[in-house]
Copies of this chain bind each other. A is one copy, B any other.
């Protein structure tokens, strides 16, 4: 294939995905949005979410501009300004992916609620399509962005020699930098927002005032639901966009290093563009997969989702085998290239490496589900240890999270060694591509959770009959395994992509090796590991402070708004009793309070604290590699990358799993458990203990944990971009 054709295929893949996005978004818009009250609540949520994203982007514009200017004047040895262009395009594409995903999600949520009034399956359909729009927007924009930049750069530079190709790849790395930095801010900012609002709303609503979650009288309710959208939707979109383009670009950069040494230029070109073509294949596979997600009226929705994923997976697996065979038609020599144990490898070796990536991701996912799944032994242990109170609940959860790092790390380690054995560093990068190629459909299923969650919140706030909420709750529960596998892919691909960028950094900085016993490198390792801890602490702290601010505001409203105050008193008399059965005068008090809660103030507080608190961790991630690179030299920077990679991955797994296990321990108790012959349920002391654990886990699993996956890639791509100047200095 010519490079023009390959780039053309990538662009076509991206456009195809975006076409789907437009058609499906229009379909969602056409769905009925329910009664006026529901629409009003939904519009509060949508407006709050959009206002936050706009405010966030207004800040990030400055960040992007400053970094772009710095890049234009310093990075790389030449063509600085093109790196800056790539960076800006990457940042824009990431922001756009998040925005589209969120806009569609905030349309889909209320329509899911409306659909849930009629049937579970109809609701499932709306929620899934909403998720798939986001999934395909992410992969479409990613592939289109890289493709168009490549088209421009190859035209501009010619790209007829391996050296030119390599130069272009180093410029393209800027796209990944842009995507990663926006993703980091979006994840951290969104995470602080969602968990600050969630923890704050729970603490003052559920715990203090004793009113149910999402109750319309709780002024923090809207902020809580906005949070789901800016954190779990926009944040996750930016996150996966980052992972997706990171895996593709790091593999292309390593492909370019190989291309330099191939006697056959077209073979070299194939190695460079293969990740892009595989991504395009993944889009086609995902698209086809979405059409298999259909359920009969009484079918099993879980199976429908699995079917979609399975079809996409099989198409990808088979298609990639033939594509790789077709493109890489020759033996790849690795002589003289940094980081290979084998003298050469073939198309089959590459394909095996991508399959290894898939297996590693799925295996980590299953282990994650074992450690964090409701009903499984580890979570059951937490429940049992919570009998003696909160302290043992927390101790058990911390222990579980730490322990749960062991098997995933071993799986990851074996995967790295095997991929390396088959196709060297390129194989490691391709393993990450293998995990993420089907991001389109994977993300569609992932985006369920927040849409269904929001749909439930709207049902509650609109005081729809309980069966509607029951349906949305069921929706929310579907797709746990897929979500777990998604986590496995996120962690696995983050480690592999960061490792690939790290290797690219080594090549670019021109070091033959970085000696781990060199004290400078050890100091780098220490600082890198410390950064992961510091970064986590900043994220966790921010959530704590945002929650405190929210609690204070809600307390103020409860005290100062007389209608709310009166209604709260009434509610506490009728816990778990439907409003219709209340005595006339109590119902009147309750109705008078309607609309008195000042949601907007809470939304404002959440927005302000999230934006204020996301800056320091974000800047820390960007500035540290620069400082260490210039002050400590390329070897210490290498140590820093390895340190943040290893400690970051471990901390991410620990925090994600502790948090998820606490969450499910609480859910298990809510559904009723029996220990030593005694039954416990909602409202029991056991339940109270598990609620605390769940709250502690929130910032760990939804703010700092997932941000760490981005952090490690962001720092390694910055190092790669800086490599030219550091090596020269």
Q: Which of B385, B521, B536, B692 contacts A391 (CB 8 A)?
A: B692
- Alpha-carbon distance between A541 and B516 when the two chains are bound, in angstroms: 33
Which residue of B is nearest A532, CB measured? B650
Contacts of A91 in B (CB 8 A): none
Residue of B nearest to A398 (CB): B540
Q: For the complex, what is the distance from the CA of A410 to the CA of B543, rounded to whole Å?
A: 26
- A709 to chain B minimum Cβ distance, whole angstroms, is 15
Stretch in contact with the other chain, from A21-29, A401-409, A449-457: A401-409
List A77-128 residues whose CB lies under 8 Å from chain B: none
Decide yes or no whether A42 CB sits under 8 A from chain B.
no
Are the C-beta atoms of A544 and B392 separated by less than 8 Å? yes
Asked if B540 and A417 make an inter-chain contact with CB atoms under 8 angstroms apart, the answer reads no
Contacting residue for A388 out of B203, B499, B643, CB 8 A: B203
Least distance between A625 CB and chain B CB atoms (Å): 15
Interface 9-residue window, one of A255-263, A293-301, A522-530: A522-530
- Which of B338, B400, B406, B643 contacts A530 (CB under 8 A)? B406
| Residues in B neighbouring A696, C-beta threshold 8 A | 391, 394-395, 398
Tell me whether A519 is interfacial, beta carbon within 8 Å: yes
Which residues of A (405-455) have their CB < 8 Å from a CB of B?
405-406, 409-410, 412-413, 416-417, 420, 425, 428
Contact B399 A519 (CB under 8 A): no
Give chain A's interface secondary structure class. Answer: helix
Does A360 belong to the interface (CB within 8 Å)?
A: no
A537→B403 contact, CB < 8 A = yes
Q: Which of A339, A399, A403 has the most CB of B within 10 A?
A: A399
Chain B's nearest CB lies how many Å from the CB of A631?
11
Question: Cβ of B516 and Cβ of A642 under 8 Å apart?
Answer: yes
Q: Is the CB of A538 within 8 A of B403?
A: yes
Sorting the interface of chain A by its residue count into under 10, 10 to 19, 20 to 34 or 35 or more gives: 35 or more
- Kindly state whether residue A548 has any CB partner on chain B within 8 Å: yes
Residues of B within 8 A of A534 (CB): 402-403, 405-406
Q: Measured between alpha carbons, how far is A471 from B54 in the docked complex, in Å? A: 61
Q: For residue A409, which residue of chain B has the nearest CB?
A: B530
- Which residues of B have CB within 8 Å of A516? 513-516, 521, 638-639, 642
A70: interface (CB < 8 Å): no
Which B residues are CB-close (under 8 A) to A533? 402-403, 405-406, 650, 654
Task: From the candidates B392, B503, B515, B650, name the one contacting A529 in the complex (CB within 8 A).
Answer: B650
The answer, yes or no, to whether A149 is at the interface (CB within 8 Å) is no
Supposing A517-B506, A527-B413, A646-B643 touch, asked if A692 and B395 sit within 8 A by C-beta, the answer is no
A27 smallest CB distance to B (angstroms): 42
* Per-residue interface assignment for chain A, residues 36 to 47, with 1 indicating a CB less than 8 Å from any chain B CB and 0 otherwise: 000000000000
Residue from the list B517, B547, B642 in contact with A503, Cβ < 8 A: B517
Which residue from B199, B394, B519, B643 sits with its C-beta under 8 Å from A420? B519
Measured CA separation A649–B643 after assembly (Å): 12
Are B402 and A537 in contact, CB atoms less than 8 angstroms apart?
Answer: yes
A64 near B: Cβ within 8 Å?
Answer: no
Q: Point out the residues of chain B lying under 8 angstroms from A543, CB to CB.
A: 395
Let me know if A53 is at the binding interface, CB within 8 A: no
Chain B CB within 8 A of A389 CB:
yes
A551 interface residue per 8 A CB criterion = yes
Measured between beta carbons, the chain B residues less than 8 angstroms from A639 are 516
Asked if A477 is an interface residue, CB under 8 A from chain B, the answer is no
Chain B residues with CB under 8 A of A520: 417, 420
Residues of B within 8 A of A514 (CB): 515-517
Asked if A390 CB lies within 8 Å of chain B CBs, one says: yes
A425-B519, A517-B514, A522-B642 given as contacts; is B551 within 8 A of A388 (CB)? yes
Contact status of A399 and B548, CB under 8 A, knowing A533-B650, A534-B405: no
Q: A515-B514, A517-B638, A533-B654 are in contact. Are A412 and B526 (CB under 8 A)?
A: yes
Task: Give A395 to B659 CA distance when docked, in angstroms.
Answer: 12
Q: In the bound complex, do residue B203 and residue A544 qualify as a contact, i.e. CB atoms below 8 Å apart? A: no
Q: Which residue of B lies closest to A513 (CB)?
A: B515
A639 vs chain B, min Cβ distance (A): 7
Residues of B close to A519: CB separation below 8 A: 339, 416-417, 420, 425, 428, 499
A371 CB to nearest B CB, Å: 11
Q: Are A647 and B647 in contact (CB under 8 A)?
A: yes
A649 to B518, CA, bound (A): 18
Residues from chain B with Cβ under 8 Å of A503 in the complex: 517
A695 interface hit (Cβ, 8 Å)? yes
Task: Assess whether A65 is interfacial by the CB under 8 Å rule.
Answer: no
Q: Which residue in B392, B506, B537, B695 is a CB contact (below 8 Å) of A399? A: B537
Q: Is A699 an interface residue (CB 8 A)?
A: yes
In the docked arrangement, what's the CA distance between A304 and B596, Å? 64
Q: In whole angstroms, how far apart are the Cα atoms of A420 and B530 in the complex?
A: 21
Across the two chains, which residue of chain B brings its CB closest to A691?
B391
Out of B401, B541, B650, B699, name the residue touching A403 (CB < 8 Å). Answer: B541
Chain B residues whose CB sits within 8 angstroms of the CB of A410 once the complex forms: 527, 530
Residue in contact with A526 in the complex, picked from B518, B649, B695, CB distance below 8 Å: B649
A584 CB to nearest B CB, Å: 36
- A251 interfacial by beta-carbon distance below 8 Å: no
Query: Closest CB of chain B to A645's CB: distance in Å?
Result: 7
CB contacts (< 8 Å) of A399 on chain B: these are 537, 540-541, 544
**B388 and A642 contact, CB distance less than 8 A:** no
Expressed in whole angstroms, the minimum distance between the Cβ of A665 and any Cβ of chain B is 14
- Chain A stretch 682-709: residues in CB contact (< 8 A) with chain B: 692, 695-696, 699-700
What are 24 of the A-B contact pairs (CB < 8 Å)? A207-B389, A338-B517, A339-B517, A339-B519, A385-B544, A395-B544, A398-B537, A398-B540, A405-B533, A409-B527, A409-B529, A410-B530, A428-B519, A502-B517, A506-B517, A516-B521, A517-B638, A525-B525, A525-B642, A526-B646, A526-B650, A529-B529, A533-B654, A646-B646
User: Which residues from chain A sit less than 8 Å from chain B, CB to CB?
Assistant: 199, 203, 207, 338-339, 385, 388-392, 394-396, 398-403, 405-406, 409-410, 412-413, 416-417, 420, 425, 428, 495, 499, 502-503, 506, 513-523, 525-530, 533-534, 536-538, 540-541, 543-544, 547-548, 551, 638-639, 642-643, 645-647, 649-650, 654, 692, 695-696, 699-700
> Which A-B residue pairs are the 7 nearest by beta carbons?
A402-B537, A513-B515, A391-B695, A403-B537, A413-B523, A409-B530, A399-B540
Given contacts A338-B517, A514-B516, A516-B638, 4 further A-B contacts (CB under 8 A): A398-B540, A513-B517, A526-B649, A529-B647
